[in-house]
Amino acid sequence: MLLFADVRDVERWLGADAPDGVERLLRLASMKVGYAVRRAIFDVTPAGLPADPDVAEALRDATCAQVEAWHLGEVEAGVVDTEARVSKSSIEGASVEYDTAGADAKATLLREQLCTEAWEILALAGLTGGMPWVK
């Protein structure tokens, strides 16, 4: 599995010690970042990591931003929660509406999606194809 950041990166990003379980958060965040850039085209090293330092920096920063969002939001990443449910969807309009009546709906969305800051870091680096699918 490719990891785009390490514990020291998270500590620099946070300006504090890494949260408990940071290794797990880094794995999960790296998967989300990797998924978000799955269609981006960039050169990689034999290890599969970006060859361009600017791309590597964007992936690192997006990963750290996601870890920070989970940490500050006190969200248990990777835990399946059924609070927010899809209440309406359409194919041609490509829209999805969630039932957010549950008290933990924001945390549920954060568990399932890349946070806004991470998405914006990737978008500004030209590594995404558009806007996040859910706001």
Please give the residue range of the domain that contains residue 73. 7-124
Residue 133 belongs to some domain of the structure: no
Distance from C-alpha of 14 to C-alpha of 56, rounded to nearest angstrom: 19
Which residues, in sequence order, are CB contacts of 116 under 8 Å at separation 6+?
A: 132
130 within some domain: no
Task: Note whether residue 66 is domain-resident.
Answer: yes
Residue 84 lies in a domain: yes
What pLDDT sits at residue 78? 59
Element (DSSP H or E) covering residue 112: helix 105-112
Whether 1 maps to a domain, the answer reads no
- pLDDT value for 26: 96
The answer as to whether 129 is a domain residue is: no
| Domains of the chain: total | 1
Confidence at 103, pLDDT banded by 50, 70, 90: very low
CB atoms inside a 10 Å sphere around CB 85? 12
